[in-house]
Structure 1
């Protein structure tokens, strides 16, 4: 293989990954070829060719009715395989089931992926609960929602501010999350040891989350509960925080800081 062929191959891979990221950011609604061209800076022919290849490999799905691209089913398979083994998901599965049984609420496990917080597992209550991340694999920028706040608040101050600066444009979609409001929420989360949303981001849906701290690796994720906001009162808050902290305290010491899956999320 010539040097130019190698460079072209790397460039093609970079472009494919960029398009996957853009489609992922669009959420469950998907996004169009026109939008992807505008956001990526690629011309229509190149963009369309790469998208078609990703569709053929089931990494993307093309919805003909609205001419949108969404993430494909193969990514779910990849995600499930990546989550197996001695990582967070496997360690916390029994805890998620216990929390669902003890509270009747939706229990969620989040992990950090660079500037995002990703849902790597969730055990749903008997009611279909709307959440910021949607299903397993969904992501939100760090700073949005209790699960991500519980992670962001326990990073180093300099790292926090750098992440918030990079995420600012994405967080601007949520006008209630001003710079001042986020700083206040981060300080409150650090002081009380948990993050809470009484229903400000999704009306009627509340959430509580605690950080998962691993010795030698720092904060690697969060464990939380999502529920209808009318259920939230001081007694429920105290009980849910205690249950979440109890599970984390029992499991975190069993997680190796040398686990490559933890390092990959930092």
Structure 2
């Protein structure tokens, strides 16, 4: 294979991943070919060819008579396999169940993915709570919500500021999150050791989260609770934080800095 063929192969892969990302962002509604062409900037022939290949490999699904593409079943298989083995999710599953039983709240496990915070597991309370990330696999920019603040606030200052700069335009749909407000939230979170949202982002719903660190790798995620705002009394906050910090302290020694799955998403 010559250099030109290699570059074409990489370009094709990049385009396929871009289309997968666009379909994933559309959720259960999916996206039609026209919309995917407009969003991706690809011409109709190229876009259609890549989409057909993704459908053939079951990475995308398109029902007969339906114009929209949706994520395929092969991705469910990949996701299930990725969730097993080493990593945060496996180590923290017993802790998530204990916290749900002890608090009666929805428990969230978040992991850093470059400039985002991704929900990699959640154990719902008796009443399913609305969250910023939605279901497992949902993500938010670092800086939005207590789960991501608990990660961002404990990253080294230079990297932290670079992330804030890159993410700020993505946070503009929340007008209350000005640059000064974000900086204040980061400083407050770092100062007290946990992130707290009393209910400023989702009406009536707040949350509290603590960072998860790995020696030699820094902050890799956060453990948090999503709570009805009236339940976030000072007494409950302190109790929740103590319970979560205890669980994190028990798990952190089991997290290896050599586990590439903890480090790969932090670049």
The TM-score with structure 2 as length reference comes to: 0.91
Matched, 1:154 2:161: no
Which residue does 1:52 correspond to in 2?
Answer: 52
Structure 1 contact 79–137 (Cα < 8 Å) conserved: no
Q: Please give the root-mean-square deviation of Cα atoms over the aligned residues, in Å.
A: 2.0
Corresponding position: 1:212 with 2:212: yes
SS where residue 207 of structure 2 aligns?
strand
Distance 1:159 1:27, change over 3 A: farther
User: Once the 2 structures are TM-superposed, how far is the Cα of residue 249 of structure 1 from its aligned partner?
Assistant: 0.9
Paired residues, what number? Answer: 266
Q: Distance in 2 between matches of 1:165 and 1:127?
A: 36
Deviations 1:43-74 (A, max 9, x none): 22222322232233332344789854443333
Q: 1:81 maps to which residue?
A: 81
My pick for the range that moved more, 188-197 or 123-132, is: 123-132
Is the counterpart of residue 111 in structure 1 residue 122 in structure 2?
Answer: no
Query: Is the Cα contact below 8 Å between 1:63 and 1:70 reproduced in 2?
Result: no
Unpaired segments ≥5 residues, structure 1: none
Match of 1:145 in 2: 145
Structure 1 partner of 2:184: 184
* Structure 2 unmatched runs, 5+: none
After TM superposition, the structure 1 = structure 2 runs for residues 117-266 of structure 1, keeping only pairs within 5 Å, are 117-266=117-266
Q: Taking structure 1 as the reference length, what is the TM-score of the superposition?
A: 0.92
Query: 1:102-151: per-residue Cα shift (whole Å, max 9, x none)?
Result: 01111111101111111111111121211111111111111111111100
Alignment of 1:12-51 (within 5 A): 12-27=12-27, 29-51=29-51
- Tell me the secondary structure at the aligned position of residue 136 of structure 2: coil
Tell me the distance in 2 between the aligned counterparts of 1:173 and 1:66: 32
CA shift at 1:240, angstroms?
A: 0.6
Separation in structure 2 between the aligned mates of residue 68 and residue 153 of structure 1, nearest angstrom? 40
Change (3 A) 1:53 1:88: same
What is the DSSP-based 3-state SS (H/G/I as helix, E as strand, rest coil) of the residue aligned with 2:16?
helix
Write the distance in 1 (CA, Å) between the matches of 2:177 and 2:56: 39
CA contact (8 A) 1:100 1:123 kept: yes
